[in-house]
Amino acid sequence: MARRKLLWQIFTPFLIILLAALLAISWSVSKSLHTSLTRQTLVELEVRAELIRPELISLLQAGKPARINTLCRELGQRTGTRFTVIAADGQVLGDSESDAESMDNHAGRPEMVTALAGSTGTATRYSTTLQQTMLYVALPLTADGQVHGSVRASFSAAALEATISAANRPLLGGGIAVALCAGLVAWLVSRRISQPLGLLQQGAQRFAAGNLTPPLTENGSAEIQDLAAAMNGMAAQLDERLRTVLRQRNEQNAIFASMVEGVIAFDTEEKVLRLNRAAALLLEIEFKTAPGRALSEVTRKTDVQKFVRRALADNESVEAELTLLRQGQEFFLQVHGSPLRDASGTVIGALIVLHDVTRLRRLETLRRDFVANVSHELKTPITAIKGAIETLREGALQEPEHAGRFFDIAVRQADRLNTIVEDLLSLSRLERGAEAEEIRLERQKLLPVLEHAVQDCAATAAGQEVALNIACSPQLAGRLNSALLEQAISNLLDNAIKYSPARSVVSIEAWQEEDQVRIKVQDRGCGIPAEHLPRLFERFYRVDAARSRSLGGTGLGLSIVKHIVQAHGGTVNAYSTPGQGSSFIINLPAI
């Protein structure tokens, strides 16, 4: 194939210049036409207003506003022009297209302000009366050297634009014809140049994507053939290196992304070089936009910023434990920082490793609280039993009228101690069963479970003069363990009855919502303050410790409810308004 010089293929710039000149001329002519027609329209409006001005002055002096309005309408229909006449105070006396009495005061219109000042006023703006853009010309109505009002002639800008568009059509047609001819010539010339260049472009894109084979076709002008040969040589040299780099990078990315610990690399100016998704989640950083930005831009956590500065300032590894806030709750991070060095050993930044120890800290706190609560709960009945026995030993045993009371105290506290131990054993069994997946769930109807729970609590409710109401469809069913779910609902009902006033109602409602079965137990009792709701299901947690113990509670009922619901794969939530009552909602999978 004959090699063609690219020098002979530079006609395209000339075509571009020709098209640019054509567009510039067309735009200039169109602009001049628009300006000329607008100016001509304004002159015509001024002439029309001038023609009726003497008669309007006479009518104003004669005090005939009704005749003014009639005159405006007659002349408006004849000339296709909107006329508006206002008095010196801005009141509309006549209008050819609207009711003059319902129109706003026009003293503030720009063209009217100029006319009332004794000069000709013009304006182009949107008319709220006609809902379109209008051209306005206003003339003063002067008699005996005094301005008595103003007459305004207006014309639709849309009609003017239509006239201009009609005038532009021949110009546009000629421009399009010339453009098509010029485009055809340009296409014929550019096709000879673009075809080989297009092949080179596709090859370059393929190289950029990492596909360096097959080689590019070497055709076109001499320069293009040389370029294709150079790109093929480059591709052959880079192919092996790129494969090696990609393999190493993929291995590093896989390791980096699979790490549970958060990892962030910073340069010496505290700019993020790289981070993994775990770090972005821990510090609430945008994973995609963080690289290249300063740490102060991506996070406002001052403790993290101080630690990064410390890691950059020291040449040795540093460690710290940070307490941060995430969505209003505290979480704890074990942070390790070490210098980041290049191949020559120069420090180029710091590498920070973040380990979330929140669960460990919370488990430690729960363990301490649990030990303290168990000790306190067990100590109370033991102390009461010990006190009763010591009182009996010191002589009360010989007094039958007192001995029975102390025996009752010892028996009652022993029963309470036994109840606490049984509840603890129930919690332990639930946890073991859930972990070992020993709790069997079967698809059963829900109404019998609710009815059995109500029967279990009926005597307590009758003693408290509390009514129990059930609202549940007989067909409603879900995957559940009837004995455990009955125990959970009984615990909720027992609490609701204890904290409800006499002659009130405790309602149990169940329904299906999408893929969830919801069970709500609601009372009309004293309610629970909002600050207690997050910890309500903790073991031995009490809102009112003295009242709970006086009612016979162990502090483990709601914790048992939570574990039973979790064993069903569901959740339980508490909602309450002090003084209006509380509601507990169990959410269970329907399937």
pLDDT tens for residues 174-224?
767 776 777 677 666 666 666 777 677 777 777 777 677 777 777 767 777
Backbone angles phi, psi at 159, to 5 degrees: -65, -40
The ranges of the chain with pLDDT < 50 are 1, 6-7, 435-436, 545-552
Contact 522, 496 (CB under 8 A): yes
Say how far apart CA 267 and CA 274 lie, in whole Å: 10
pLDDT of 176 reads: 73
First and final C-alpha spacing in the chain: 73
pLDDT of 522 reads: 92
Q: What angle do CA 452, 453, 455 make, to 5 degrees?
A: 65
Whole-number CA gyration radius for the chain: 45
Domains, the chain: 1-209 (3.30.450.20), 259-356 (3.30.450.20), 362-436 (1.10.287.130), 442-589 (3.30.565.10)
Say how far apart CA 292 and CA 302 lie, in whole Å: 19
Here the tokens at position 512 are 């299906």
pLDDT tens for residues 16-66?
777 777 778 777 877 777 777 777 777 777 777 777 788 777 777 777 777
pLDDT of 214 reads: 75
Cα distances (Å, whole numbers) of residue 586 to 452, 489, 538, 565: 17, 9, 16, 7
pLDDT of 546 reads: 41
Say how far apart CA 363 and CA 371 lie, in whole Å: 12
Q: Which amino acid is at 194?
A: S
pLDDT of 375 reads: 59
Say how far apart CA 545 and CA 32 lie, in whole Å: 90
Chain position carrying tokens 């942070």: 335
Beta strands (DSSP E) in 358-454 are 442-445
The Cβ of residue 252 has, within 10 Å, a number of other Cβ atoms equal to 11
Q: Is 181 helix (H, G, I), strand (E, B) or coil?
A: helix
Strands 466-471 and 132-143: unpaired
pLDDT of 98 reads: 77
Chain position carrying tokens 């168990």: 374
Cα distances (Å, whole numbers) of residue 539 to 250, 377, 563: 48, 11, 11
pLDDT of 542 reads: 64
Nearest to residue 298, comparing CAs of 264, 335, 256?
A: 264
Sequence-ordered list of residues with C-beta below 8 angstroms from that of 289, at least 6 positions apart, any chain: 298
